[in-house]
Structure formats: structure tokens, C-alpha cells
Chains A and B, each alone.
Chain A
Amino acid sequence: MRPADQLAVFVGDALTSGKSRVEIADALAAAGWAPNEVSEAMHAWADTDFSPPVPRPRPYVSARDAFYYGLMFVALAMTAIHLTWLSFILIDRWLPEPGQENNYVFALSSMRWTISTLVVFAPLFLILNARIVRATRADPGKRRSGVRKWFGYITLFLAAMSLLGDLMTIIYAFLNGELAARLLAKSAVVALLAGSVFLYFRQETEGGEDAR
């Protein structure tokens, strides 16, 4: 049993035996539990006079969720990576730099590859996403999915990293005196894409805060 679960069971037992919430919190603090651990354990039980104590909803993990969120996450990652790649090739083509090597043939096969990937994964992401949004609206309890939270926060983390990396590259190029149209265009693509993903998953990870 995890310490947090052990604690929640203890609080449940103590409430059943008629102790007040203040008494229980004091006893836990005296035993050396930190304030956030105490409040989390108390929060696991609804603050009502009903007996036996009523548990609050807990996060759950399901294989079905892992399948859908895993697939959606992979589809989003593939879409983002290949969209960035394709945009960079197009920008290199439209904003050539003097003395640029000719690598058209290589670029053409890369472009065909990225287009194929986008044609498969972008619709998959949008469809799965629409499905998940509909399911969550119909049943807000789905917001408590542990898998959903993990995928949400991992994506948020990656999007934040890309945005920070983007900013870093712009500052570096600016100091190097290289801030050209091409770099600005590429940074704009990354910012727009990572920004959308960030915004989206921030909305997604909001709510369902009763689940810890």
C-alpha cells in the first residue's frame, strides 16, 4: 500500500470512529506528516456529516484510455514533427540564402515522405481528438483518467520545451547577427504550432482537480 493510500484509509477509519476533522489533522501533523499530505488525505473524504464517510472520486487508469490517448499522442507527435520538417523545407526553398547548396532531389523525397505522414496522422489526430472531446463532455468523470493526465502533462512539457528552445534559437541568432527572414519564418512556424499544442493541452489538463 502506498503511504498516501495508507493515510487515506486511516483518515476514513478515524472519521468512522467519530473523530472530528480538526482532531485527525492535528494527530497526523503530530505524527510528522507534512501539511500538503494531511490536506490531501483529508480531501480524499467528502466534508459531510454522513456516516460512514463518503469518499471523493479518485483518478483511475484504464487500458482503453491508454490505447486512445497513446494513439492520439503518437498522432499528434508525428503531425507536429513532420509539419515542422515540411515547413522548414518549404521555407528553405522560398527564402534561399546566397551560396546555398542545391539539394532539391533530396528535399523532394523528404517532402513526399512528410506529406505521406501528414496525410495519415493529421486526420487521425483530429478524429481521435474530436472523439475524446465529445466523450469528455458527455461524461466529465473521464477527466479523472490518470492516463489522460499523464499524456496531457507530457505533451505540455514537450510543447513548453519547443517554445523555450525556439526562443533560445532566436536570441542566439540575433546575437550572432543572423536574424534573417528565413529564421524568423521558421521560428514563427514552431511558435504557432507549439503554442497551439500548449494552449490545447493546458485546457485539457485543467479541471478534474479533485482527482489527485
Chain B
Amino acid sequence: MAAIRLHNLRKSYKTGFWMREFEAVKGISLEVPQGEAFGFVGPNGAGKTSTIKVLAGLQDATSGEAFISGISCSDHRSRQHLGFLPERPYFYTHLTATEVLGLYGSLFGMTGRMLKDRTAQLLKRVEMTRFADVPLGKYSKGMLQRIGLCQTLLHDPEVILLDEPMSGLDPVGRAMVRDIILEEKHAGRTVFFCSHVLSDVESICERVAILVGGTIRLEGKISDLVSTQEKRMICTFKLQSEKTLDILSIQSGEVVEKSDLWEVVLPEIEFGAFLRNNVDHISIVDLRMQRKNLEALLVDAIAEDKRQTTEMGVLA
């Protein structure tokens, strides 16, 4: 059984004075197996937060289905297995960290010694023990994020839903949160990780879905997605004396000047021909292979979405 399952999920909102319908999520389907760390990335307005809110039970799907551990997200019992950290979590500012975790623990049916011990353990884990009795109104954004992570993990959930968990954290805090997420992943928890910081996604997740304009543009193992992309060679060279650029034979790519040197970016398969044809005219200074990373994939997906939207506009 999948830990998270979305089947043709759609989410629309009525906006503006005339209540026009805006479709934020356009029929997405995906499955996240138990124990996997899954990245959910996309630009602003891609439909990530809408999907997460359906999973967390904050919104109902317009159509389609969403399940957590096999239980429909419209059923409140699905949240018994779910730990949810919203983007920039907000808490009752009059409560202290201990009180707020006590409140959340009670909502999960945790009481007494078990709740007290778990609260103390988590506060220690996020290095917040010495602020345990300070009202949350006095906390910084990063400190609130840490408390947010504590409330997410409080009941030892099977599925952890994280919406921008690194937001507002300093580099030390980011490293700590990343370590905690990795620990949870290694302990067999399913992590659904939504972030703009793609390097974090690459370091934590095995699989990823790139969401653009409410639809999934790419989905799969990060290593597979990246390896299937075209590799490119970046060659920095010097022209032999008295030679000009006109003498070079280049099938594709553009040569740009860099200080006293020249640089050309070519598809890997064309590099051999470039070398053979120009070996008498250039001396190579530096040679690098460029592999597309997640960021490049996301940029391509956004560009593809824009192109399709424009084409559809023209057809209409």
C-alpha cells in the first residue's frame, strides 16, 4: 500500500467578484511508497500548496482522490498517521513551546509522561530546550520553524508532509533540519518534501515530481531524470596566433569571449567533430562536462509550459 496516493486530483477556486473558476491543480496522479523521500517541486503558483492542503485535510479536492496510508484525506482519521509542517507555521503566541506541544499532543490523544518525555526529547533534538518556557510570541522565524518541526514529529507519524521546511532558517538550522529529515527517512518514515531550494530536494529525496501550471511535467528518480538529459561539454580555448574565429568549424553552439580566452558549449556528441576539425587552430585550456541538474530540469519544464500555453493561446 502506498503511503501517499493521488488519483486524478483536481482543485479549483472561485476568485474575484464574478467568482470565476481558477483550476490550481489539473488532475494529478502519483504514488509515494512507504519509506520513500519524495520531492514535490515547482514554481510559485504551480499547485504545490493546494495539493498539500488537500493531503493535510485543510481543503477538499474538487474531484479525484487523495489518500494517506490508504485512508481518504477527507476522513480525519487519515491525519492520525500524518505529521504536517505548513510553510511558515503560525502558533498561539501566548503559549510557550512546552504548552503548545502539550496542546498538539493532546489532539493526538497523547497524555502524561509519554507526552512530557516526547516533548523534551524533540525540543532537545532541535536545540530549543532552553527556550521551552518562553512564549512563542517572542520567538524568531527560525525558532518557530524548529517548533513547527517538533509538532510535526510529535506523534511519530508514518507520513511526514513538509512545505518549505527550511524557510527562515540560518545555515546551521538548515543543516540540522536536513539531518533530522534524513534521520526520519532512514527510520522508514515516508517524507513528502516540498521546497524551492532544489539542492535540498536533491540531497534528501530519491524521487521527484516537477509540477508546473497544475500538472506534473516530470516524475521519476532524480538520478534517472538527470542522467537521461543531454550532457554538454564546455570547452575553454585559446586561438593559435594570427588565427581568427572565422577559421573554426562549429556545427552548433555559440563561441563567447572570456577575458583573453574563448568558450564554447557543445552537445557531447558533437565535441569529437569539433576537436578533429579545429585541432590545428586552437589550444584547449579547460574542458568540463555539464550535466543538467534538477534546477535546469525545472527551468526547462517551466519554459515548456510557457510554450504550450502560448501555442494554445494562438490556437484559441
A associates with B: no
- Name B residues whose Cβ lies closer than 8 Å to a Cβ of A: none
Residues of chain A at the chain B interface (Cβ within 8 Å): none
